[in-house]
């Protein structure tokens, strides 16, 4: 008598599973974070002083170029209008710039206006003299005029203050004329403007 045995189909081998190594996700520890912040603080403290002269030089240079642009513009307007154009320094402001305490100090900026009565002083009351342009400085640059004066009058020939030479010394407000960023702007009788390095005479 034949015995009946169940037929078993051969099992096919399972496909090999790809190996994925497990990586444990973790962030910075408190100590690592503190060390990183400390290193960044040291680097910032070392780099800060080296950038100060560069920033001061840039500020002084920018103010000198603004003053140069102002003088050229005022001269151009005076030639066009037949004179009667003036530049007047801005005074100290109650909540801002305090670099305009004397007639020599032009560190708060200036305005260019049509000087209708030819007295060198902007008339804000009616009838108001037309303001042509205004330049306000932030007070981080000293602008010292030699000789002093509240205004510069430009005549019909483009000459400033009766053909007198004017000299402006620009320096950082924080360090003054001891800074290597000091710059001198010279305006001669013929209207020529020069920007020179250092505190120098306009010869």
Peptide bond between residue 38 and the one before it cis (omega within 30 degrees of 0): no
Report the 10 Å Cβ neighbour count for 63: 26
Task: Kindly report whether the global pTM for this prediction surpasses the value 0.75.
Answer: no
Q: Locate tokens 């030699």: which residue?
A: 146
Q: Are 202 and 184 in contact (CB under 8 A)?
A: yes
DSSP character at residue 115? -
DSSP character at residue 3? P
Q: Are 152 and 121 in contact (CB under 8 A)?
A: no
Take residue 197 and report the two structure tokens written for it: 């390095």
- Mean pLDDT value across the chain: 85
- Cα torsion for 82, 84, 85, 91, to the nearest 10°? 180
Give the domains, in start order, of the chain with CATH numbers. Answer: 50-197 (3.55.40.10)
DSSP character at residue 92? P
149-176, pLDDT tens digit by residue?
999 999 999 888 877 789 999 999 988 9
DSSP character at residue 109? E
pLDDT interval class at 26 (50, 70, 90): low
How large is the average pLDDT for residues 71-89? 95
Please state which of the ranges 35-39, 59-63, 184-188 shows the lowest mean pLDDT.
35-39
């Amino acid at each position: 008598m034949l015995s009946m045995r169940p037929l078993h189909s051969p099992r096919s081998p399972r496909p090999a599973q790809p190996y994925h190594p497990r990586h444990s996700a973790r962030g910075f520890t408190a100590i690592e974070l503190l060390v990183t912040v400390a290193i960044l603080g040291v680097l910032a403290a070392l780099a800060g002083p080296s950038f100060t002269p560069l920033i001061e030089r840039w500020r002084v240079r920018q103010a000198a170029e603004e003053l140069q642009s102002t003088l050229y513009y005022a001269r151009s307007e005076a030639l066009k209008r037949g004179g009667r154009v003036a530049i007047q320094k801005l005074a100290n402001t109650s909540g801002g710039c305090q670099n305009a305490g004397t007639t020599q100090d032009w560190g708060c900026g200036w305005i260019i206006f049509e000087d209708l009565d030819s007295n060198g002083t902007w008339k804000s009351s009616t009838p108001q003299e037309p303001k042509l342009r205004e330049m306000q400085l932030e007070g981080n640059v000293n602008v010292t005029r030699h000789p002093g004066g509240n205004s510069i009058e430009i005549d019909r020939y483009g000459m400033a203050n009766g053909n007198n030479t004017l000299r402006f010394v620009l320096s950082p407000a924080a360090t003054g004329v001891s800074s290597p960023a000091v710059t001198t702007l010279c305006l001669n009788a013929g209207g020529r403007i020069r920007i020179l390095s250092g505190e120098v005479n306009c010869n």
